[in-house]
Structure 1
Amino acid sequence: MKRIEPGSRLSKAVVANGFVYISGLTAREKVQDVAAQTTDILAQIDGYLAAAGTDKSRLVMCNIWLVDIGTFNTMNGAWEAWVDPKNPPARATVESRLGGQGNLVEISAIALAPTA
């Protein structure tokens, strides 16, 4: 097992049993709109996948939480510009109250780890 950026409460990502599990991520800049926050989070996911030795083409599942489901299409614009169209993961998107002031979207991901 490999922990990426472990902290006292959680690791940002964990590689275990052939998978990479990425914790729920929020944007670094909370003053941005949903599209910009989504783009920032997806860039973070790219970074954690790279740290684990894999990439978005190996995503299996993503979960997305939006403060306002009315921003679904805006979030999807950023998503569709990023996702590998030949290898889209399974995905769920729901409306939810999020912790932390200014968070409009949160995304977690599961990907296949690199093969040995």
Structure 2
Amino acid sequence: MSIKRIEQNNRMSQASQNGNLLILAGQVADGATITEQSKGLFKNIDALLAKAGTDKSKIIYANIYLTDMDNYEAFNKVWDEWVASDKGQVPSRAALQVARLAKPEWLVEVQLFAGV
């Protein structure tokens, strides 16, 4: 079975698909607040899922990396508005605090697995 790469460059692919499994690289976004960054990265995720022919209702699992757990509730507010709970499709997930992300201004990164 061949692996399909989405938005690939010399270093990485934003998404990789093998059969019915899609794995997204960690997604981040610019913004001054956790809310702005969360909304931006969910927009990125929606676009990548669409390129793979799927959507957020097919998300199986998400890893959420926060640089400060004090941002957890603000992140969850955006997550709750975005996730496909209206379709009964709330994925499994984990939320972890990390020392920092690749750029010090990033407050949150989300990586996920989805069905296609």
Specify every segment of 5 or more residues in structure 1 that has no aligned partner in the other structure, as ranges. none
RMSD: 0.8
Selected match of 1:4 from 6, 31, 47: 6
Aligned twin of 1:53: 53
Structure 1 runs (4+) deviating above 4 angstroms are none
How many residue pairs get aligned? The number is 111
What is the alpha-carbon distance in structure 2 between the residues aligned to residue 12 and residue 45 of structure 1?
10
What is the alpha-carbon distance in structure 2 between the residues aligned to residue 32 and residue 52 of structure 1?
30
- Give the drift of 1:101: 2.6
Alignment of 1:1-116 (within 5 A): 1-27=3-29, 29=30, 31-85=31-85, 86-96=88-98, 97-113=100-116
Q: Percent identity?
A: 33
Deviations 1:56-108 (A, max 9, x none): 00000000000001110000000000001110000000100211131000001
Specify the code of the residue in structure 2 equivalent to 1:53.
G
TM-score computed with the length of structure 1 as normaliser = 0.92
